[in-house]
Structure 1
Amino acid sequence: MKQSNNSNRAFPTSPESWWIRSTEVHKFPALEEDLKVETAIIGGGITGITTAYLLAKEGLQVALFEADSLFNGTTGHTTAKITAQHGLIYNELIQHFGEDKARLYYQANQNAKEHMEEWIKEHNIECDFQKEDAFIYTNADDYIGKIKKEAAAYEKLGIEGGLTEQIPIDLPHKSAIVMKSQAHFHPLHYLAKMVEQLEKLGVQIYENSVASQMEEGTPPTIRFKNGKRVEADYVISASHFPFHDNRGYFSRLYPERSYVIAAKPVKPVIKGMYINAEQPTRSIRPVTIEGEQMLLFGGDGHKAGQGGKELEHYQALEKFAQEHFNIGEIAYRWSTQDLVTPDKVPYIGELSEGSKVFVATGFRKWGMTNSHVAAQLIRDLIIDKRNPYKELYTPARFKADPGIKKFVKENLNVASHLIGGKLETPDKEIKDIKEGEGAAISIKGKRAGAYKNEKGQLFVVDTTCTHMGCEVNWNSGDRTWDCPCHGSRFTYKGEVLEGPAETPLKLLNDDQIDYTTS
């Protein structure tokens, strides 16, 4: 079903990822009995699956647990660039960490890219793997100097590339930088093959199995939402948000949403991958969809739950695509959410020195290579093999610059939304909600949330997030309730889509609200 936007172009009504739509993988059972295993991995995305594969290859007994279905989280909604070019990052890393650690960050991600390419060739995987140069460009005067500083960082760190006068794409730009020989692919075709290998290696895979708590004993014990328990010598949290949070990770991570549309341009599809330096972000890469050459346009990001009318972000990408590429109909649209650390480097490693519990999170939308960095690092920590990236990625780090400033800023942001949401008085009532619309409403002086589907059926929830009590906001683009504090997301029925929340929003029943007023 389509809807019209402000340019009168046919537009997908509901978000759907092309990667998920075009990938078949058989289903796995839910955990239905207590289990004892050598290694338990929580999270069935690219990080968890890759870590499971590497550990199983080392001979460890591995069980993988996914709260929903494999691939359905951030991994299934990426733009799928396999690159060590993570925006204008290397000059910043040199300033904050020093040249040696900045070089390690590049080497870690570049090596991950090369390992992925080798694995694809070894297993003859048809996943549309394509090498491309990666460009960062700017048309803003304020960013020309930043591009030049990044080029100087490339030179210091030995990165192949640097300043370029022209980019092979018809976009206005005043300066640009290139990183040579990066890549993109179909991430789920790649992972589907890896899942086949997991099954051959005897890895136990469970879907619809929600890990809720963990006891850090000897061995650690994971408690699942359905009451089942899993004992494991090693526990790895590879979920979007760490399911075990007694170290306060939620206060050192903040969630960002971003958007993707897929469309066919009138002109021939370009070569290369592109992202601008300034805001709002505009990311571009070629893709083959149903046999046709198209482009993915991504960006327009914002903090989760704080983006205003989310459908307008899709429309902003469409406007950009139409202005510069004269696109036809939008074939697919989807959005994603990722976590960002204060210093922009992921948290990967032991929860504490000598711990048997490991975490991998905070990939800042660059998860294709960072996921493999995480898998290799965690494997090496478990098998007691030296890894040069341990100190760089350790979750225990907490640098004063920029960490403490960012930490304070983000927690002030959370506090403002926690308080502000409680003071807000919605001006809508149930009778105001139209079909296909959702909004915060007032019921007997209290804030609630209502959504009416196309059949006129109404769903009303308590809008207080079950994580820490912030008030969720309606996401019109994805038809979800999103928390502006820590990024928890819920369906219009209140079911948990993304953590850190574990408990659904309360769905109000007929005794609590008079539906006849709609």
Structure 2
Amino acid sequence: MTNRGYVGGRLPEFPESFWTDSTVLPKFPRLDNDIHVDAVIVGGGITGITSAYLLANKGLKVAIVEADKLLNGTTGHTTAKVTAQHDLIYDELITNMGISRARLYYEANMEALNFIKKTIDQHQIDCDFSTQDAYMFATTEEYEQKIQKESKAYEKLNIDGELVDTIPLDIKVKNALIMKNQAQFHPIKYLKHLVQNITEKGGLIFENTIAVNVEKGTRPTVLTRDAGRVTADYVLACSHFPFYEGLGLYSTRMYADRSYVLAAKPKSKFPGGIFISADKPTRSLRSVTINGEEMVLIAGESHKTGQGIDTIKHYEALEDFGQQIFRLETIPYRWSAQDLTTLDKVPYIGAITSGQPNILIATGYRKWGMSNGTAAALLLCDTVLGEKNKFQKLYTPSRFYVNPSLKNFLVENANVVSHLIKGKIEMTNLNPSMLPNDEGAIISIKGERKGAYRDTEGRLHIVDTTCTHIGCEVEWNSGERTWDCPCHGSRFSYTGDVIEGPAEKPLQKYDYKMIDNLTSEDSGY
């Protein structure tokens, strides 16, 4: 594990998740030939791995295709709460979908929690699993009233909850709503064991293999960027944002949010429980054990990808909050995560379109991927096996509720158009010579908008800022040193490589030595 010891006010220089840094995962080869399996699963996060585990244990031959490394995406950067308390959601679901479907949403997530617990008990997995009560609290009168409404929704849905006026933290609250017997764990330790089980059952896993398209048919084929093809009875797109949209137009039906996490050692003892504020900006808390010491995860500061303030300020805001509550001693880790939200806040899980029943997707978990992602795997498995599942209609991707879906569809796509236009007309007077080491910015070269980052050794990296998805202009993310698209959430490294979709192709790169108007100051680098 990396040796760290950052004191309050000194955030770690580079973002890295504790989950991924503390667990060594096996490595798997790139796919370089054509294969045939019963089910091919694109995406190596909690949904893909759990789906492969379930299907392999039913005797199916499965293959996982992962564009990067297993568990290096949203699953590896979660807060790892396993809960059905998903912010203020149940009163809204009752209003928009009715009591029966709101209850189904709760049941699906509780079944997922119980599946995780049962799997851990069955295999004796050491993954720091613990049962915790979940608290959602309000600090303002506006959100006090919303929590009261949510409490009434709990009563209508027969959810095991309790409305209280205090919480066991040094935070003055108006009220709080408890959901009993929820959980937390170390997600990578848990899923590492499932990966081992998959390979023992004959499952195939390929890393650094980018899936780009599907050839439809009775046995569809997943096409990869480099060479190999995977033909199967079923294709499961579990790649956070679906790598294949078909006619589902999912990029117009979801938006991407980023949020931030600190792992910090508090001077004050953490009381137990998992916490989230109803008020915005969100503040989320849970305990975690790092090198034998109890620490706290402080999360929140959500904003649409590519549309926030200087991202390092989000980390600083979380640190300020942590100092007020716990008096932080050290901050060994910081990281961020990206999540997708659907038009009605319920994930899309099932057949990508009614005409393609053997191509399945799972996406749009709205920051609650541990339970929603597991619920998705359980539903996808039943679909592949031809078994009935009572949650199918709730999650079907083809659903469309006029309220709120129509309103949100218009709002989100108007937002895309505004950023598309804004990015094209915005100009800058910065040129490469103005960039100090370890800073990036939008620059102007011969009147054209480019993106530039000068690394810690003074080397300049220049890319075209036009996102390769639909042509929006990316923005610099200083906290992660990435280029982020404000339209649909695509993210690229400072060298232009794709980190997150829906974009599939990298940003165009430029050799700075070939650009005429670089100053002599730059010519030596």
- Shorter chain as denominator, the TM-score bin is over 0.9
What aligned pairs does 1:84-483 form with structure 2 within 5 A after superposition?
A: 84-246=84-246, 247-353=248-354, 355-483=357-485
Q: What is the Cα deviation at residue 513 of structure 1?
A: 5.0
* SS of residue paired to 2:86: coil
Residue identity in the other structure for 1:485: C
CA distance in 2, matches of 1:394, 1:350: 7
Q: In the comparison of the two structures, how many residue pairs are matched?
A: 517
What aligned pairs does 1:25-104 form with structure 2 within 5 A after superposition?
A: 25-104=25-104
Q: CA offsets, 1:46-98, max 9 Å, x none? A: 00000001111111110111000000000000000000000010000000000
Q: CA offsets, 1:138-195, max 9 Å, x none? A: 1111111110111011111111112112211111111110000100000000000100
Is 1:511–2:514 an aligned residue pair? yes
* SS of residue paired to 1:10: coil
Residues 8, 218 of structure 1: alpha-carbon distance in 2 compared, 3 angstrom cutoff: closer
Q: What is the Cα deviation at residue 278 of structure 1?
A: 1.1
Contact preservation (8 Å) 1:9, 1:329: no
CA distance in 2, matches of 1:444, 1:227: 38
Residues 273, 508 of structure 1: alpha-carbon distance in 2 compared, 3 angstrom cutoff: same
Residue identity in the other structure for 2:27: K
More displaced 10-residue stretch of structure 1: 390-399 or 217-226:
217-226
CA distance in 2, matches of 1:290, 1:76: 18
Contact preservation (8 Å) 1:19, 1:187: yes
Q: What is the Cα deviation at residue 491 of structure 1?
A: 0.6
CA distance in 2, matches of 1:48, 1:388: 21
CA distance in 2, matches of 1:79, 1:504: 29
Contact preservation (8 Å) 1:264, 1:329: yes
Q: What is the Cα deviation at residue 219 of structure 1?
A: 1.5
Residue identity in the other structure for 1:70: L
CA distance in 2, matches of 1:463, 1:48: 32
CA distance in 1, matches of 2:168, 2:123: 32
* SS of residue paired to 2:509: coil
Residues 443, 139 of structure 1: alpha-carbon distance in 2 compared, 3 angstrom cutoff: same
Residue identity in the other structure for 1:355: P
* SS of residue paired to 2:367: coil
Q: What is the Cα deviation at residue 498 of structure 1?
A: 0.5
* SS of residue paired to 1:194: helix
Contact preservation (8 Å) 1:135, 1:272: yes
CA distance in 1, matches of 2:5, 2:444: 30
Residues 513, 259 of structure 1: alpha-carbon distance in 2 compared, 3 angstrom cutoff: farther
Contact preservation (8 Å) 2:253, 2:343: yes
Residue identity in the other structure for 1:179: M
CA distance in 2, matches of 1:212, 1:243: 6
Pairing partner for 2:492 from 469, 490, 495: 490
CA distance in 2, matches of 1:34, 1:158: 51
* SS of residue paired to 2:262: strand
Contact preservation (8 Å) 1:491, 1:497: yes
Residues 423, 153 of structure 1: alpha-carbon distance in 2 compared, 3 angstrom cutoff: same
Contact preservation (8 Å) 1:46, 1:368: yes
CA distance in 2, matches of 1:260, 1:346: 23
More displaced 10-residue stretch of structure 1: 358-367 or 141-150:
141-150
Q: What is the Cα deviation at residue 4 of structure 1?
A: 13
Contact preservation (8 Å) 2:4, 2:332: no
CA distance in 1, matches of 2:5, 2:84: 38
Pairing partner for 1:501 from 484, 489, 503: 503
TM-score (normalizing by structure 2): 0.96
* SS of residue paired to 1:131: strand
Contact preservation (8 Å) 1:256, 1:339: yes
CA distance in 1, matches of 2:22, 2:74: 16
TM-score (normalizing by structure 1): 0.98
Report percent identity of matched pairs: 51
Contact preservation (8 Å) 1:43, 1:67: yes
Q: What is the Cα deviation at residue 221 of structure 1?
A: 1.4
Q: CA offsets, 1:437-481, max 9 Å, x none? A: 100001000100110111111111111101110000000000000
CA distance in 2, matches of 1:206, 1:79: 26
Residues 274, 513 of structure 1: alpha-carbon distance in 2 compared, 3 angstrom cutoff: farther
Q: What is the Cα deviation at residue 427 of structure 1?
A: 2.6
Q: What is the Cα deviation at residue 227 of structure 1?
A: 3.0
Residue identity in the other structure for 1:344: K
Q: What is the Cα deviation at residue 33 of structure 1?
A: 0.4
- Unaligned stretches of 5+ in structure 2? none
* SS of residue paired to 1:202: coil
CA distance in 2, matches of 1:445, 1:35: 49
More displaced 10-residue stretch of structure 1: 503-512 or 234-243:
503-512
CA distance in 2, matches of 1:400, 1:110: 28
